[in-house]
Homo-oligomer: A and B are copies of this chain.
């Protein structure tokens, strides 16, 4: 019998996040801020626009003058100002974004004007065809951003648009949360480098290390490849010491946490740190282990250690469920948990009577015809299964009237924990309860998003556009 109490996955997630704290802050430049979380509010040092600015190319006018023929007494180009005021009976040429000259209170777009031959003194002249309203096509000072406004708040994730917002307000040195340093270590005498060909007797290639390094890197972590630990106490202890020496925040191991007599991870962690849990009621991933080490020689700082099971699917699922939220919390995310959605099964699922299962699936939109309720039909389900693989030939989109979207969950097939193909193209983990029997196609299940839906399969027929668009 295992010495570790079996706990639920929500309890495991709570325990991990309780022991995980946001990392300290670091100052980065603008291009280094993408994907990071701001540690400070960012304010605007000046107004945008800093001057009344034209929205169009055209002529700055006095609205009360109305339509008619006018001399063009100057120009205001973006970046180049004549600084001649517009007096009644005159206009000034102006380009988009340029400052509206003193005196003018409206802009008439060039499409509503006509250039005239020069006047007797050679002065430029224009016909204004449409009278303007005061304020027309002018952005007042501070109408986009007022001086002193907070444009982004501490805790916000910096995406592409946020980079632009930061540049706009001149915020080029940014206090952000540090990214976690994550080391990945495989264990096992049978585990050999992926480049090994042919395999020797009893050998298997190490899928976990490259996969977990990729997963951590994708989560924004700084990663370190720690190689493979052999199945001896001494070698494993040496690998742990090396991980500590490197100043890692997180060590992720795979393998060596089952009940075999060479499963050395738990005994080692017990000797050197605190194991918070060593068994979780989940399929796959039951032997999942979490420990913390207080590093006295490094100022008492803490290192988190995740002992993932050696089966590649187990380590993939456990990484997403417990390691990823911890990395996000360290990086400053206020809501580090995986996002949960509801989706309908396209096929029957056999239930496991002993453990709740995280079933790998590819989510895809389905269309609920307008005016009807979502209804799962075998026909719908069958038509979707063909496109489970993103490389399967996809039918050409057929225009359909716009209906609500629902998510369909397409199982990736045989879920045995050694079969990593069950994670191929998976963008969700379905939360399947432990019970006997079958969960029928059409059932609504909760699903955790583990990949970007922006590259998911396109539904047969596509999603229609807004009527009239």
Contact with B along A451-469 (1 / 0, CB 8 A): 1111111100011111111
18 new A-B pairs (CB below 8 Å) besides A57-B260, A165-B423, A167-B211?
A31-B213, A77-B190, A80-B189, A80-B190, A97-B204, A97-B310, A111-B259, A157-B390, A163-B214, A164-B208, A170-B195, A334-B390, A335-B394, A339-B454, A342-B405, A374-B374, A431-B465, A446-B463
Q: Which of A48-56, A125-133, A233-241, A290-298 contacts B (4 or more CB under 8 A)?
A: A48-56
A78-107 contacts to B, CB under 8 A, are 78-81, 93, 95-99
Are A342 and B260 within 8 A (Cβ)?
no
Q: CB-CB < 8 A to A7: which residues of B? A: none
Interface 1/0 per residue, A380-403 and B, CB below 8 Å: 000000000111001000000011
A207 contact from B156, B164, B451, Cβ within 8 A: B164
Are B424 and A96 in touch, CB under 8 angstroms?
A: no
Bound form: Cα–Cα A185–B137 in Å? 27
Map CB proximity to B onto A318-336 as digits: 1 under 8 Å, 0 otherwise: 0000000000000001110
In the bound complex, what is the Cα–Cα distance between A454 and B456 (angstroms)? 13
Task: Choose the segment among A13-21, A145-153, A245-253, A300-308 that binds chain B (4+ C-beta atoms closer than 8 Å).
Answer: A145-153
Q: Are A161 and B426 in contact (CB under 8 A)?
A: yes
Asked, given contacts A208-B164, A419-B144, whether A99 binds B312 with beta carbons under 8 Å apart, the answer is no
A418 at the interface (CB under 8 A from B): yes
Cα A435 to Cα B466 in complex, Å, equals: 12
Can you offer 24 A-B residue contacts whose CB atoms are under 8 A?
Answer: A57-B261, A57-B263, A77-B262, A79-B190, A80-B202, A93-B261, A95-B262, A96-B260, A144-B416, A151-B424, A152-B424, A159-B425, A161-B420, A164-B312, A164-B316, A164-B420, A165-B421, A168-B205, A335-B390, A339-B365, A340-B462, A340-B465, A405-B407, A453-B453
Min CB–CB distance A259 → chain B (angstroms): 5
A278: interface (CB < 8 Å): no
Residues in B with CB closer than 8 Å to A368 are 374
Is A78 touching B202 in the complex (CB atoms < 8 A)? yes
The complex places the Cα of A316 from the Cα of B163 at a distance, in Å, of 11
The reply to whether the CB of A30 lies closer than 8 angstroms to some CB of chain B is yes
The answer to whether A258 touches B57, judged by C-beta atoms less than 8 angstroms apart, is yes
Is A160 an interface residue, CB under 8 A from the partner? yes
* Nearest-neighbor residue (CB-CB) of A193 within chain B: B172
Q: Is the CB of B202 within 8 A of A79?
A: yes
Query: In whole angstroms, what is the CA distance A263 to B406 when docked?
Result: 46
CA A40 – CA B132 in complex, angstroms? 62
Partner of A210 from B95, B164, B203, B430 at Cβ < 8 Å: B164
Residues of B within 8 A of A134 (CB): none
Tell me if A356 counts as interface (CB < 8 A to partner B).
Answer: yes
* CB-based contact B49/A218 at 8 Å: no
CA distance A50 to B164 in the complex (A): 52
Q: 8 closest pairs, A vs B, by CB?
A: A79-B189, A164-B211, A79-B190, A433-B468, A161-B423, A95-B260, A78-B190, A167-B194
**CB–CB A77/B260 < 8 A:** yes
A394 to B, closest residue via Cβ: B335
Q: What is the number of residues of chain A that contact chain B, defined by CB distance less than 8 Å?
A: 154
- Is the pair A424, B463 in contact by a Cβ cutoff of 8 Å? no
Q: Which residues of B contact A311 (CB under 8 A)?
A: 96-97
Chain A residues 191-236 with CB under 8 Å of chain B are 191, 194-199, 201-211, 213-215, 217-218, 231
Minimum distance in angstroms from A28 CB to a CB of chain B = 13
A168 and B57 in contact (CB under 8 A), knowing A201-B81, A432-B466, A463-B342? no
- Write the nearest CB–CB distance from A446 to chain B, whole angstroms: 4
Residues of B near A204 (CB, < 8 A) are: 48-50, 97
CA distance A93 to B45 in the complex (A): 71
Say whether A110 faces chain B, with CB atoms less than 8 Å apart: yes
Cα distance A208–B81 in the bound complex, in angstroms:
23
Q: A419's closest neighbor in chain B, by CB?
A: B144
CB distance from A414 to the nearest CB of B (A): 9
Instruction: Please determine whether A34 and B356 come into contact, CB atoms closer than 8 angstroms.
Output: no
- Which residues in B have their C-beta under 8 angstroms from that of A23? none
